[in-house]
Amino acid sequence: MSYKVKPRDISPLLQKLRNFLLGREHTNALRFAEGVSARTQPPPNLPEGPAHLLADNYYYSRDGRREVRPPVLLADAGRIALSEGGTEVISSGSAVAVGKKPPTPGKPWKWD
């Protein structure tokens, strides 16, 4: 960047020594007001893409926050919901389920 007033730095003799020891030209990491771009820039003019609309884009349909559903009760008022077998009805007088048992979460540990 071209500055109207040269930003502060060390003396010219020390600059040459620093550049020699670095093996390259030193770039100052400090930012001065004249070297920074203006904050009042116009907004960018970007081309419209597939996601420029708010409601009719692909991300809206695959957003994970909209996949949340209320919890499913496994035993609710005479019905048992199984993961693969659908729902099976329990007889109203007894507690015996018709069909296969609900899945067990892994193999049981045998202590003896």
Q: Which residue has the higher pLDDT, 103 or 19?
A: 19
16-25: pLDDT as tens digits:
999 999 999 9
**Domain annotation covers residue 24:** no
Query: Per the domain annotation, does 36 fall within a domain?
Result: no
- Work out the pLDDT band at 29, boundaries 50, 70, 90: confident
Contact predicate 34/1, CB 8 Å: yes
**68 within some domain:** no
pTM of the model: 0.32
Residue 42 lies in a domain: no
Domain range enclosing 88: 73-100
Q: Please indicate, yes or no, if residue 84 is contained in any of the structural domains.
A: yes
Q: 59 in helix, strand or coil?
A: helix
Structure tokens, 25: 């030209």
Q: Which DSSP letter does residue 76 get? A: E
pLDDT at res. 60? 64
Enter the DSSP assignment of 4: S
Q: 30-73: per-residue pLDDT in tens?
A: 888 887 877 888 888 878 876 677 666 666 667 777 778 888 77
Residue 59 lies in a domain: no
Count of structural domains within the chain: 1
pLDDT of 14: 97
Does residue 46 form part of some domain?
Answer: no
Q: Residue 41 falls within a domain, yes or no?
A: no
Mean pLDDT of the chain: 74
